[in-house]
Amino acid sequence: MSILDNLNNEQRLPAETSEGAILVTAGAGSGKTRMLTHRIAHLICDLGVSPERILAITFTNKAANEMKERLEKMASIDGMWVCTFHAMCSRILRRFIERLGYTKNFTIYGDVEKERLIKRVLESKETNVTADTIAWHISNAKNHLRSPEEYAEFIPYDKKREIIIACYTEYEKEMKRCNALDFDDLLTKTYELLKTCDDVRDYFQDKFKYIHVDEFQDTNEAQYLLVKLLAGKYGNVFVVGDEDQCIYSWRGAEAGNVVDFTKDFRDCKVFKLERNYRSTKKIIERANTLIKRNQNRLDKNLWTGNDEGARVEEYTTYNDLEEAEYVAGTIKSLVQNGGYNYRDFAILMRVNALSRVLEEKLITYGVPYKVYGGFKFFERKEVKDTIAYLKIISNPADDDAFIRVLGFPKKGIGDVTVNNLRLLALDGNTSMFNLMQQGQYLGETLNKKLAPVKALFDDLIAARDGMGLYDFVRFVIEKVGIKEAIGNKTEDDINKCLNVDDFATSVKEFEDANAGATLEDFLQGITLMRDIDTLEDENNFTSLMTIHSAKGLEFKVVFIVGLVEGLFPLSRAITSATPNELEEERRLMYVAITRAKERLYLTHPRTRFSFETKRTEYCAPSRFIKESAMDYIEDLDSSPVTRTRLEINELRSSADRRDRVLSAASKVNILKPGAGLNATTTAASQPKPAGKYKFSDFVKGTRVRHPHFGEGEVMLPVTDFAGAFVTIRFKSVGIKTLSLKYANLEII
């Protein structure tokens, strides 16, 4: 009996092909890791290959450990290398790096050490180019194996190019002097070693007779060239990947490596794993329809033997507040009535700036959640940095906030200066801010360093009295230059700037719902909200995450939110001169869809408040909704779980618009000082509708009459901190959500 007997035919064919170059294009949920581990075990147990002759490369330490655990259950793997690219390279360099002029005890610099060195390099330069920008360019150059001289020819000429190349050159000299390598160096130096030292290359080419690479679509140029070098003697290289799931081009991954593999290894055998074991037929059909629009891919078509499953549900809401309420309410309903646990749900976002409204509504509905792979909204650095300025304006005695202010944006004030100021404040029994304002005890040098900070706060404080809360917060963000300090070079930069914008939006929503609210009211409100803990069971929570964080995971129920043009796909992808960025956005949507096992929800708000234009703007639905087939839209009446479908039409009455405003206030009321912070909403705790009826009278199926819209049927009653509402399907105007307090409904 062979180890491969446990595989299906589709998985077995590539696993039992032991010689030559092999590419396995494995669709989402197709069991590729199972196939890969069984192939390695087959080589050892069935074919008698020594584990020392086998190399298996993964992309994360977690994946490497999981692969080891699986293999150890099937075979003895003593001496086998199962590791990440960086771990493999580090191991090689520890033995042979002296050939490159380094010593074996070299230090590996992480992001913190790398940033610190770049800042030292920048100190001698008169430039406004940030350390983050320099770091990105250095990493980009090394991912493509380009020296400073080669990179100078690669990047377009502008006024920044000279400073970038100068910093890169000096950075490399400093790294060599310190006998240090960064993570990118682990790849580039290993490639240089193997390329220039014939005996070292021969040794490792002979050692690794069988090479395996998982998640091959995530390889960058340096990693791919390393694989080609190592496979140079035997050519037995087995790669598994899915170009449709290549979503990391912003950090160097190249989807084209999968396609190029078939060209670079001429006798390459290509196998397809197209059977999906994860999702229902309806979900797989939607994923296939979408991804076929991409051009830079190998042809494959996912299929599944699973049930048809529920239809993919698409919902349009008036704004992001209603979108969040719909998501939170649906989760609550499915847990209470549908047999699900909170851990079965994931809410996926293109950018993490969307999480604020969602977090607030999850709290309102008592849904325990965890922000996966990041911080909750008000705990994110860029948001806390912004809040720090507001705290100082509100309370100048807050030394912790003042220290944070001194650190962002960079003001040339180091830790030593900050500590000296803190000690002087302690000695004088005053605050650091007050000491700065007085100035007479600081000395000429310290006063000079703090003068721009003092001038800035003089301007901010002077402007406060003449502005409303939102206008003032917007003024602070712009005056301080918070978004400019963050930059917009990387994906992470864009996310951070969007978070700052959404923070400003939260202020506007709070001000709109709380007439006469002060800065102190707002700060108190968000503090109270941040203190709420909804995690009753630490192992039973809904996951809130970006799509990038969701790769490799699966959930019974998935919500993909914020499906509007400009957010998903991002604006820069829409306007890009090449189709590459838009294709990556489409791959990202494909990854999001294929995380779902049983149910998939696509949500689209019609309007969002724009920080840039300072007004509420119409949002066109994401093209990915239409591209992934509109056939699979859940009919609300046939849905097995009660839910809200909030649709907008141009004939909305003024009364209905007022209802929407009241609904929007539901979120900010949990921020209002003194408001109830009970996470679970009940009808008894909510305002009652006016007139002769009670909220409990409006159950699903109740026939009602509206003075303007005529007869209709109640689809879903819902309450929140703002009041009591019902969603009704009217014969004349379709679906509307109305406030019972103002709608003047009559039960018939």
Burial (CB count within 10 angstroms: exposed 0-12, middle 13-18, buried 19+), residue 376: middle
- Exposure letters 392-431 (e unless 16+ CB within 10 A, then b): bbbebebbebbbbbbebeeeebeeebeeebbebbeeeebb
Contact 562, 605 (CB under 8 A): yes
- Kindly state the DSSP code that residue 493 receives in the 8-state scheme: H
Catalytic residue among 11, 219, 245, 316: 245
Rg (CA), the chain: 29
3-state DSSP assignment of residue 425 = helix
Write out 369-388 in H/E/C secondary structure.
EEECCCCCHHHCHHHHHHHH
Q: How does strand 237-241 pair with strand 22-26?
A: parallel
% helix / strand / coil in the chain, to the nearest 5?
50, 15, 35
**C-alpha 358: how far from its chain's center?**
14
Given the residues 170, 182, 185, 215, the one annotated as active site: 215
- Nearest CA among 613, 377, 617 for reference residue 496: 377
> Of 211, 345, 260, 243, which Cα lies nearest the Cα of 641?
345
Residues 6+ apart with CB under 8 A from 616: 319, 607, 608, 609, 610
pTM metric for this prediction: 0.61
User: DSSP code of 314?
Assistant: E
For the record, the structure tokens of 172 come out as 């490399």
pLDDT for the residue numbered 644? 33
Largest CA distance in the chain: 92
Chain-centre distance for alpha carbon 214: 22
What local confidence, expressed as pLDDT, does residue 645 receive?
Answer: 33
User: Where does residue 245 fall: left (phi above 0), alpha (psi -120 to 50 degrees), or beta otherwise?
Assistant: alpha
What whole-number distance in Å separates Cα of residue 66 and Cα of residue 330? 34
CA–CA gap between residue 596 and residue 28 (Å, rounded)? 11
Query: For residue 106, which of 121, 116, 91, 120 has the smallest C-alpha distance?
Result: 91
Cα 746–chain centre separation: 46
- Identify the pLDDT of residue 251: 62
Which residues on adjacent β-strands are paired with residue 599? 557
Nearest to 258 by CA among 57, 29, 24: 24
Q: Annotated catalytic, 700?
A: no
The active-site residue out of 11, 12, 25, 32 is 32
Q: Which of 11, 12, 25, 33 is catalytic?
A: 33
CB 238 within 8 A of CB 24: yes
| pLDDT < 70: residue spans in the chain | 1, 158, 249-253, 255, 373-376, 440-441, 524-538, 610-614, 630-691, 716-725, 733-735, 737, 739, 741-742
Residue 132, token pair as written in the block = 């983050």
The b-or-e profile of 137-164 (16+ CB within 10 A means b, else e) is bbbbbbbbbbebeebbeeeeeeebeebb
Catalytic residue among 70, 595, 608, 645: 595
Pairing of strands 269-273, 555-560: unpaired
**Distance separating the N- and C-terminal Cα atoms of the chain:** 72
Q: Which of 540, 553, 543 is nearest to 63 (CA)?
A: 553
Active site residue 595: yes
Q: Would you state the pLDDT for residue 94?
A: 87
Res 376: pLDDT: 66
Query: Are the beta carbons of 302 and 274 closer than 8 angstroms?
Result: yes
Q: Is 33 known to be catalytic?
A: yes
- Tell me whether residue 214 is one of the annotated catalytic residues: yes
Q: How many CB atoms lie within 10 A of CB 366?
A: 16
* CA 673 – CA 725 distance, rounded (Å): 24
* Helical H segments across 307-464, by residue range: 320-337, 355-364, 381-394, 399-407, 415-427, 432-438, 444-464
Structure token digits, residue 387: 């809040």
Q: What is the pLDDT of residue 668?
A: 35
Considering 182, 214, 325, 385, which one is annotated as catalytic?
214
Question: Quick one: which of 251, 184, 198, 258 has its CA closest to 229?
Answer: 198
Confidence at residue 659, expressed as pLDDT on a 0 to 100 scale: 41
